[in-house]
């Protein structure tokens, strides 16, 4: 009787182990129950935003698939889904910039919407679990009184810089996108991007509620504002922030900032809250675009 060689036995064992490993990986990939964004890739996350805005326009939250315990906030206040701006939104304009974070299961966006024909800025964050909405966080800005700055008419379509996908060799790792974006509030904290070592490209720009506040064509103390890195900025020692979404493919990082005391000039004591996105590649910030609203001091984000 011929017995199989030791070599043949080892090959058979290796094959069985490989098949078992593949089965385990396949099982984990196909059934990540409860994981953020489970099975929701970039097109899926984009559809979540599409569906959310369509449901808003229809004033019908029942169109959405909600996860158990889903929460909704508007302007930091928890509400029933369908309340607030859901009741009065009347249209969408051409501007929409998405931030799709597949790893965290987050779909976020800056959108210009309409209420009775007038523009309203909308910032939103959707957290997806098993393809259902678990967290819905939104902020609206209706006018200059709410936003301090308000020029939505300049936002006709998403900016070419934000829409451009950086070449693969220019892209940053997730942790570096976060680190580089956080250099921005770090600079505001001490009143100098230069001193903070914030990495900002020479041709970068910043939009705040549609107004160009830094870069070519800027309006904030020109001509010094043409260089975003060296322009004069306030010292906001009480600024706090958190990461909302990191879009590694597009080189985008979105932060939720509370600028703290001294961030709003004029009558009344208010602090500026912002959803600020940064375009980052080749180790530098190339653009910053924010939707921001002035709110009472120490207003919690609701999350």
Q: What three-state secondary structure class fits 262?
A: coil
Residue 268: per-residue pLDDT: 74
User: Do residues 91 and 113 touch, judged by C-beta distance below 8 A?
Assistant: yes
Gyration radius of the chain's alpha carbons: 23
| Joined tokens for residue 296 | 């009472």
Per-residue pLDDT tens digits for 2-38:
444 444 444 444 444 444 443 433 333 333 344 555 5
Residue 36: per-residue pLDDT: 56
Alpha carbon distance 141, 139 (integer Å): 7
Q: Give the pLDDT band of residue 190 (cuts 50, 70, 90).
A: very high
Alpha carbon distance 278, 289 (integer Å): 7
CATH of 160-295, one of 3.10.450.50, 3.40.640.10, 3.30.450.40, 3.30.1360.120: 3.10.450.50
Per-residue pLDDT tens digits for 219-278:
988 998 999 999 999 999 999 999 999 999 999 999 999 999 999 987 678 999 999 999
Alpha carbon distance 75, 174 (integer Å): 28
Domain limits, the chain: 42-144, 160-295
For residue 119, what are the β-bridge partners?
Answer: 114
Buried b (16+ CB within 10 A) or exposed e, 71-99: bbbbbbeebebeebbbeebeebbebbbbb
> Are β-strands 66-74 and 132-141 bridged in parallel, bridged antiparallel, or unpaired?
parallel
For residue 277, whether the previous peptide bond is cis, meaning omega lies within 30 degrees of 0, is no
Of residues 224 and 81, the one with the higher pLDDT is 81
Residue 220: per-residue pLDDT: 87
Alpha carbon distance 288, 222 (integer Å): 18
User: Do residues 201 and 130 touch, judged by C-beta distance below 8 A?
Assistant: no
Q: Give the pLDDT band of residue 196 (cuts 50, 70, 90).
A: very high
Same fold, 42-144 and 160-295: yes
Cα 21 to chain centroid distance, Å, stands at 36
Helix (H) or strand (E) holding 113, with range, is strand 106-115
Per-residue pLDDT tens digits for 101-144:
999 999 999 999 999 999 999 999 999 999 999 999 999 999 99
Q: Which class is 42-144 in CATH? A: alpha beta
User: Do residues 134 and 104 touch, judged by C-beta distance below 8 A?
Assistant: no
| pTM listed for this prediction | 0.87
Question: Nearest to residue 100, comparing CAs of 277, 249, 243?
Answer: 249
Alpha carbon distance 57, 49 (integer Å): 12
């Amino acid at each position: 009787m011929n017995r199989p060689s030791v070599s043949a036995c080892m090959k058979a064992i290796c094959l069985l182990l490989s098949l078992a490993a593949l089965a385990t990986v396949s099982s984990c990939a196909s059934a990540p129950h409860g994981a953020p964004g489970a099975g929701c890739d970039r097109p899926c996350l984009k559809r979540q935003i599409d569906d959310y805005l369509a449901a808003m326009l229809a004033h019908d939250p029942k169109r959405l698939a909600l996860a158990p315990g889903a929460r909704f906030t508007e302007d930091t206040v928890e509400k029933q889904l369908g309340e607030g701006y859901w009741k009065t939104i009347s249209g969408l304009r051409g501007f929409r910039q998405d931030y799709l974070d597949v790893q965290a299961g987050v779909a976020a966006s800056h959108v210009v919407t309409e209420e009775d024909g007038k523009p309203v800025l909308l910032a939103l964050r959707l957290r997806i679990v098993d393809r259902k909405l678990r967290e819905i966080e939104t902020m609206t800005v209706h006018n200059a009184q709410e936003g301090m700055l308000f020029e939505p008419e300049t936002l006709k379509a998403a900016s070419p810089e934000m829409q451009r996908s950086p070449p693969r060799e220019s892209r940053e790792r997730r942790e570096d996108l976060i680190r580089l974006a956080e250099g921005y509030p770090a600079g505001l904290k001490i009143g100098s991007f230069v001193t903070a070592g914030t990495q900002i490209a020479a041709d970068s720009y910043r939009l705040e509620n549609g107004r160009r506040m830094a870069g070519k064509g800027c309006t904030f103390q020109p001509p010094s504002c043409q260089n975003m890195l060296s322009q004069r900025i306030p010292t906001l020692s009480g600024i706090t922030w958190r990461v909302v979404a990191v879009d590694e493919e597009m080189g985008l990082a979105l932060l939720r900032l509370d600028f703290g005391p001294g961030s709003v000039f004029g009558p009344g004591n208010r602090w500026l809250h912002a959803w600020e996105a940064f375009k980052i590649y080749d180790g530098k910030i190339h653009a910053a675009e924010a939707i921001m609203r002035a709110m009472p001091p120490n207003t919690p984000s609701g999350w």
